[in-house]
Amino acid sequence: MPQSLTKNYIHLVFSTKYRLPIIAPNVEDKLHAYLGGTCKALSCPVLAVGGYVDHVHILFILSKNIALKDLVQRLKAHSSKWIKTQDAQLSQFYWQLGYGAFSISQKDVESVRYYIKNQHHHHTKEDFHTEFRSLLTKYEIDFDERYVWD
């Protein structure tokens, strides 16, 4: 085959260091836009960005030209530097070291997009720990609780 053809939908989740509730309403939309713009610049079309005060969710199509770990590293590094310029209270902003990335089927795109866009409502009922454990279980990812949180 003379060309490489891919379409990998990824649901990416990562939190602030120690899950500090530091993503304030005055910067949240701008942060989501920044993350989406970074993905787009790396040829990873974004379908949804959302989150809550202590974490973000991004649904995107992974480009065939970048490894997932490299995309996540760039997203975190660039957005961390950027957010520190937005407000003096964010000068000590950091993302957690790890992340969760889940491949989803095309038929599930709309339900995941809805889920991401409704994070504020979702978190009136469930905290991030419970949410992330549920995702790991849903996608049958083995994990050791001692190493999930930092």
Q: Is-contact 48 116, C-beta < 8 A?
A: yes
**Per-residue pLDDT for the chain (150 aa), expressed as one digit of tens each?**
678 889 999 999 999 999 999 999 999 999 999 999 999 999 999 999 999 999 999 999 999 999 999 999 999 999 999 999 998 888 889 999 999 999 999 999 999 999 999 999 988 898 888 888 888 888 898 888 877 776
46-52: strand order across its sheet: 46-52, 55-62, 8-15, 100-104
- Confidence (pLDDT) at 17: 94
- Confidence (pLDDT) at 146: 79
Q: Which two tokens stand for residue 133?
A: 């454990």
Query: CA 53, 59, 63, 69 torsion: positive or negative?
Result: positive
- Confidence (pLDDT) at 1: 61
Residue whose C-alpha is closest to residue 49's, from 7, 41, 40: 40
